[in-house]
Amino acid sequence: MQFHADFVGYGVPILDVSLNGKFSIGKKFRFNSGKYFVMAGRPQQCYFTVGAGAEMTIGENVGITSVTLFCKQKITIGNNVKIGINTVIYDTDFHSLDAAYRNSYPERLDGVRAKPVVIMDGAFIGGHSTILKGVTIGRNSIVAAGSVVFNDIPDEQIWGGNPASFIKENYYSTVLA
């Protein structure tokens, strides 16, 4: 695990990293976690889970509130990313899509799929969103609150809905640059 001394945290996150999992956080990381530090509704703790052989990398100047990041393979979050309250990011299906595997006892996990998730620099993910396995969210893109994302989002675009779909180009990133 790698941390920098200049992170700011409010509340206590839950961090579960397997012995051979890798977890790193860049400089100027900020988080809000738990009922006393999250005033935007449905306050939960931040959960970071990194499975055996998995890798979670969080860049510099990243801000999150009550998020869940569950990594069985690889989750990469770039620099200057903001992730809204109660967002979940999963790089796995958790269960096999094959009913025979899923319904066995004990459940067979060898059919569970996992694919890397990448959140590029400058992205903003609105609260209560779900980002699923294999997704790349492009540079300076915005995901509207409450969205479910299972397709890649190109750079400089705004997407939203369930399933998330294109709304418009993100002109804000060029106006304020």
Provide the annotated active-site residues: 95
Check residue 137 and report its DSSP letter.
Answer: E
Distance from C-alpha of 123 to C-alpha of 156, rounded to nearest angstrom:
9
Residue 29's alpha-carbon distances to 22, 36, 68, 161, in angstroms, are 17, 19, 16, 28
**Residue 98 neighbours by CB under 8 Å, 6+ apart:** 111
Q: How many CB atoms within 10 Å of residue 177?
A: 7
